């Protein structure tokens, strides 16, 4: 278990064990690869971030991951692997998010992307991601950095 503070100084716990915090996470985050690049979406306020969002009523977390990737990027997944979970204890609420690694089979251009400005591709992540204001605050703590290290240890990317 790793603990640290996010960009807004909220307390974060991160673990790569199997569902360490909950079997029913309320949120999902999907670190996606497409044709040798990282696939993000652009949130209109927060900036560039990996696709993800809330698990809807009656939905399984994996189903939410498939839906969010498509809604936010037009991407269809060819594989989806569970990576870990994190918990953010905010001032008003606590959220629990499952992290997945997804490979994208195809990107379908959409007229509208649900709550986002659509797909953004990067060959490599900027070295100083935490200081890069183009990126969402979700991307600017240890969650993404450590999850990518974990993915690199498990998969050939």
Residues contributing to the site for ligand GTP (CB under 6 A): 6, 10, 12, 29, 53, 88, 90, 93, 95, 97, 138, 141
**Residue 44 or residue 156: which is nearer to ligand GTP going by CB?**
44
d(C-alpha 13, C-alpha 107), whole Å: 33
Minimum CB separation from ligand GTP for residue 60, in Å?
A: 18
**Residue 63 or residue 105: which is nearer to ligand GTP going by CB?**
63
Cβ neighbours of 7 (radius 10 Å): 13
Task: Report DSSP letters for 103-125, one per residue.
Answer: EEEEE---S-BTTB--EEEESS-
Query: Three-state DSSP class for 18?
Result: coil
**Residue 88 or residue 104: which is nearer to ligand GTP going by CB?**
88
Minimum CB separation from ligand GTP for residue 131, in Å?
A: 16
């Amino acid at each position: 278990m790793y603990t640290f503070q996010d960009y807004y100084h909220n307390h974060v716990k991160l673990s790569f064990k199997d569902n360490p915090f909950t079997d029913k996470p309320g949120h999902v985050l999907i670190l996606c690869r497409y044709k040798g690049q990282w696939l993000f979406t652009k949130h209109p306020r927060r900036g560039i971030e990996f696709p993800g969002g809330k698990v809807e009523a009656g939905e399984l977390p994996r189903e939410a991951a498939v839906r969010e990737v498509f809604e936010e990027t037009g991407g269809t997944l060819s594989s989806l692997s569970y990576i870990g979970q994190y918990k953010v204890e905010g001032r008003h609420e606590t959220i629990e998010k499952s992290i997945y690694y997804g490979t994208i089979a195809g990107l379908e251009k959409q007229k509208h992307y649900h709550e986002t400005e659509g797909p953004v591709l990067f060959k490599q992540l900027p070295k100083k991601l935490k200081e890069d204001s183009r990126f969402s605050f979700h991307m600017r703590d240890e969650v993404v950095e450590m999850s990518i290290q974990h993915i690199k240890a498990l998969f050939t990317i």
